[in-house]
Homo-oligomer: A and B are copies of this chain.
């Protein structure tokens, strides 16, 4: 594939989709008072995904499209060929309640290999992207490789839900992790938190349950800055299923997995 043409085209798609989302803010405000908030947002999610799908089909109708809202009507049992993995709005609750802290996320894979990754924080106007082997950028600035640090100086992204008693993970061990590190944060968007790790603003982010479109772009960008991204069992991520996820500075990832994570099967 012609990487540069694809790169330029994808950036254009994202900017056009973002304009549509920004235009919806006023509409959102008006409709929130008289209709169901979740329905409305579903409409904007769907409209945005439909727009992106049409643009991809115009570019090359042989490309496959795997999106959160399932508008492409394709079922996915493999990643053969060129596959776009699309989340039109990651951080839907933030979008509804905050009108900030959400992104448009697109990962482009070729036979399962990540080629191009894009995460656009619409309100901050920050486009994070990477081309395989060419480094990662935010807008026009190249991201630096991450520097090592000890776990007790780390700031980690973890939702409080994974620190209270739950069926998926030993909460006492995640609680020990919270006490061990310097600080914790939670922003409500897996892509924003992953990009905070990619830029060294957080040192790890984990979740018990993410879908392929939550992590497809992040994985491509993470690789270019030397961040680790695996399941919480330390296995490679599988983009055909929902699973656990951690992205982390490589100097602390194994210690987190070994000493603080105990999953219940």
Q: Which residues of A are interface residues toward B (Cβ below 8 A)?
A: 93, 97-100, 124, 155, 158-161, 163-165, 175-176, 178-179, 182-188, 196, 200-201
Contacts and interface: CB of A to CB of B under 8 A. Distances in A.
Given A165-B175, A175-B165, A185 B184 contact: no
Given A160-B160, A178-B160, A98 B201 contact: yes
Quick one: copies of this chain in the complex?
2
Contacts of A159: 160, 184
A100 B126 CA distance: 13
Contacts of A161: 178-179, 184
Contact of A163 (B164, B176, B183, B188): B164
6 contacts: A99-B201, A161-B184, A163-B163, A164-B179, A184-B186, A186-B186
Contacts of A164: 163, 175-176, 178-179
User: Which of A97, A100, A124 has the most chain B CB within a 10 Å cutoff?
Assistant: A97
A131 to B, nearest CB: 25
A121 to B, nearest CB: 11
A95 B196 CA distance: 14
B160 A186 contact: yes
A205 to B, nearest CB: 12
Given A98-B201, A201-B97, A158 B155 contact: no
Nearest to A200: B97
A82 B187 CA distance: 38
A98 B196 contact: yes
Contact of A93 (B175, B176, B182, B187): B182
